[in-house]
Chains A and B, each alone.
Chain A
Amino acid sequence: MNHWIIAPVILPALLAPIIGYVMRHDIVIARIASVAGTIGLVAIAAGLFATAAPGETFVYRLGDWPAPFGIVLVLDRLSALMVLLTSALALIVLIHAIATNWDQKGLHFHALFQFQLMGISGAFLTGDVFNLFVFFEVLLIASYGLMIHAGGRQRMRAGLQYVVMNLAGSTLFLFALGTLYAATGTLNIADLAVRLREIPVEDAAIVRVAAMLLMIVFAVKAALFPVQFWLPGAYSNAPAPVAALFAIMTKVGAYSIIRIHTLVFGPDVPATGDMAGLWLFAAAVVTVAVGAFGVLGARRLMPLIAFSVLGSMGTLMLAVSAFTPGATTAALYYLVHSTFAAAALFLIADLVITRRPGDTLTTLPATVQNGLFAALFFGAAIGMAGMPPLSGFLGKLFVLDNLRDPAEIGWAWTAVLLGSLITIVGFARAGSALFWKSTAFVLPQNTITEDEEKEEGPITHDPATAWEVVPTMAAIGMLAALSIFAGPAARYFELTSEQLFDTDAYVGAVLDNPEGLKPYPSEGYGDEAAAEGYGDDTPAEGHADESQSDEGGH
C-alpha cells in the first residue's frame, strides 16, 4: 500500500492550517514554510510521476474499504501528470508572489495557496465522483479567497460575480450527481464505467441527463461557450499571480471531461457515447472565436490575456472532443503548453502593470527595463499565439493534425487558424503599444543586453529584481523545453491516452479488491442485502470482490 499517493493532498492540508494559525503573524516563516511545502509537493509529484510512468494503475483504498464502497484514490499516468503540472506551476507562481510581495497585500495568502494546491491535487487523484465534487469545492473556496486577496473595489465586485457563478455551477454539479446516483446507484468512477456499459439505450434517458449536466459543470470550469462569460472578468481582476495559478483551474475542468467522459461516458458506451463529442466540438469552435475576438478587441492587457486563455481552452477542447487516443495525446500536449503559456503571460503582465499606471493599452512612457519586459512579453505571447519556436506552434499543428474527421476539418481548422491569426495580430498591437510606442521619444535600446542597466523613460518604480523575473523566465523556459523535448513528452502523453482509453485495465485495477480488507463483504448487496439487516456477520470473504472483478474483467 503506497501511502505516497495521498501525500499531495495531506501535505498541504496539514501545512495550510499550521501556516494559517501558527505563522499568521510572521510572513517570513510563513513564506519559508509555504515554499518548502511546495518544493516538497514537487518532489512528491515527481516521485509519483516516476511511479506511474511504467503504466501500472495504483489504487489507494481510503479507510481500507473495498471499492466501490469506500472512496479510492487512483494514480495513473494522467493523474500523475496533472499533479506534477500543478506543483511545478505552483512553485513558479509562489516565488513570483513572494518576490513581488503580493502575498503581503492581504492575510492568509499562503494558507489559502496551500489549500488551493490540496484541492487541485485531490481533484486529480480521486476515483470517486462525489469526492471529485468535494475537492472541486475545496479548490473553489480557496480560489475565492485568493481571487479577492488584497481587496479593492473592482476586485471585490468581480469576486462576487466569480463566487456567484461558481456556486451556481456547484449546485448544478450536485443535481448531476444526484441524477447519476439515481440512475446507477454508485459513485465510484470505475464502478460507474462498468454499470454504464450495462445500461441499454432504451433505458438511458436519466443517465444521459446526468452525463450532459456533468459535462456542462466541467465546461463552466473549463470556460467553454456558452458558460465561459465569467472567465475574463474574474481573471483580469484577480491578482496577477493568482490569475497565473488559475491557469491550472481551467485545466481541472478539462481534465474532468477527459477523465469522466472518456472512462465513464466514453464513445464506446451505447447509452451516452454519442453526446459528448458532438456538443464539445461545437462549443469549442465558438470558444476559439470568442477568445480571438476578445484578444483583438481588448482595451486592457489583463483582459487581453484572459481572452487568449479562453481561446487556448477552445483549441484544447477541440482536441478533446474527438475522443480518440491520438487527439487526446495532442490535447494533453496542448494542455501542458497552454498552462505555462497563460502563467507566463500573467506573470510578465504583473511585472509591467505594477510599473505603469494601469494596464490600459494606451501609450505611456516606457517603464524601467522596457527592453527586458518586451523580450519576455514577446516570448510569452508567441508561446500563447502559437508561433515557433515555442511549444504553442507544435501544439497547434498536433491538434490540427489529429482532427481528421472531414465533417469537422472545415470548421475546426478555420477556427484555429483564423483564431491564431487574429490572436497574433492582437498581441502584436498590444506589444507594439506597450513596449515600442512607449520608446518614441527616446533612443531604442538593446533588448538582449540590458538586464540590469537602467534605461530610458521616467523610472517610476524600481527595476525588477532577479527573483521577480526568474519565474516568468521559468514559465517560458517550460514552453521551450516542451518544444525541444516534444518527442519524449508526446511519447508519455501517447502512453497516457492509451492507458486512459483502456477502460478494462482501469476498472480491473480499481475493482479487484485485494483479500483481507477490513470489512467482511457479504454476498451481493442492494435490496436483498438490506433485507438481511443488522447483525449478520457471515464472513463470506471476497464474494463481492469476485462479482466485482468479474464485472471488471470484461
Chain B
Amino acid sequence: MELIVATSVGAMTAAGVYLILRLRAFPVILGLALLSYAVNVFIFASGRLAVNLPPVLQYGDAQYSDPLPQALVLTAIVISFGMTAVLVMVAIGAFLESGTDKVDIDPGDEDEEEPVK
C-alpha cells in the first residue's frame, strides 16, 4: 500500500509540475490543482497508513488512524480551494484585459511607456 500511495503522490506531482510549466493559464491551473491533490495525500501519508479503522471514537476499540494530519489536510484542501477560485478569476481577468491567456509576459507585449498607475 505504501508503495502505491508513494507512487500516486509521485505521479500526481510529476503531472502537476509538468502542467505548471506550460505557457497557458489553464494548464497551469490544472497543474496546481493536481499538485494540491498530491500534497494532500502526502500530508495524509505523514500520519502513516491504516486500513479499516473506525472513523470516530467508540468503546473498547484499540486503534485509530492519526487524526491530526487529516485535520491538516482538511484545512489545506479548503485553503487551496479558495486559492484556486481566486486564481481562476485572475486568469479570466488577465485574459479579458490582455486578450491572451499566456502566463509569460514577452518583453515585446509589455510596452515600456505604459504608465504604472
Q: List residues of chain A with CB under 8 Å of any chain B CB.
A: 130, 134, 137, 141, 144-145, 148, 151-161, 163-164, 167-168, 170-171, 174-175, 177-179, 181-182, 187, 233, 236-237, 240, 299-300, 302, 353-354, 357-360, 530-531, 533-535
Contact = CB atoms under 8 A, between A and B. Distances in A.
A360 B116 CA distance: 9
B87 A163 contact: yes
A358 B116 contact: yes
Nearest to A350: B117
A535 B25 CA distance: 52
A170 B83 contact: yes
26 contacts: A130-B75, A141-B86, A144-B86, A153-B97, A154-B105, A154-B114, A157-B110, A160-B25, A160-B87, A160-B91, A160-B94, A164-B87, A164-B103, A167-B32, A171-B39, A174-B39, A174-B43, A174-B76, A177-B72, A178-B42, A181-B46, A182-B46, A353-B115, A531-B63, A534-B59, A534-B61
Given A144-B90, A156-B97, A353 B117 contact: yes
B52 interface: no
A178 B60 CA distance: 30
A159 B43 contact: no
Given A152-B117, A171-B36, A181-B47, 7 more contacts: A141-B83, A151-B97, A161-B103, A164-B28, A357-B115, A359-B115, A531-B63
Contacts of B28: 164
Contacts of B90: 144, 148, 156, 159-160, 163
A358 B57 contact: no
Contact of A531 (B62, B76, B110, B115): B62
Interface-centre pick from A151, A357, A533 (highest chain B CB count, 10 A) = A533
B113 interface: yes
Contacts of B113: 357-358, 360
Interface string B23-60: 00100100010011001001101110000000001111
A329 B20 CA distance: 40
A531 B82 CA distance: 37
B64 interface: yes
Given A167-B87, A359-B116, A141 B82 contact: yes
A28 B39 CA distance: 44
A533 B62 contact: yes
* Interface footprint category on B: 35 or more
B39 to A, nearest CB: 4
Contact of A152 (B36, B64, B97): B97
A87 to B, nearest CB: 25
Contact of A159 (B20, B42, B69, B94): B94
A380 B19 CA distance: 42
A136 to B, nearest CB: 10
Q: Which 7 residue pairs of A and B lie closest in terms of their CB atoms, listed nearest first?
A: A182-B46, A534-B57, A358-B115, A178-B43, A156-B94, A178-B46, A174-B39
Nearest to A181: B46
B31 to A, nearest CB: 9
B79 interface: yes
Contact of A360 (B35, B46, B63, B112): B112
Contacts of A155: 116
A530 B61 CA distance: 10
A130 B115 contact: no
Given A137-B79, A178-B42, A360-B113, A533 B60 contact: yes
A38 B49 CA distance: 47
Contacts of B115: 353, 357-359
Contacts of B57: 533-535
A358 B60 CA distance: 73
A154 B116 contact: yes
Contacts of A299: 112
Contacts of B59: 533-535
Contacts of A178: 39, 42-43, 45-46, 69
B19 to A, nearest CB: 11
Contact of A151 (B42, B61, B80, B93): B93
A51 to B, nearest CB: 30
A137 B84 CA distance: 12
Contact of A171 (B35, B45, B97): B35
A532 to B, nearest CB: 9
A520 B114 CA distance: 64
A174 B83 CA distance: 14
B13 to A, nearest CB: 9
A302 B39 contact: no
Contacts of B97: 151-153, 156-157
A181 B67 CA distance: 13
Contacts of B83: 137, 141, 163, 167, 170
Nearest to B96: A156
B20 A164 contact: yes
A55 B57 CA distance: 43
Contacts of B80: 170
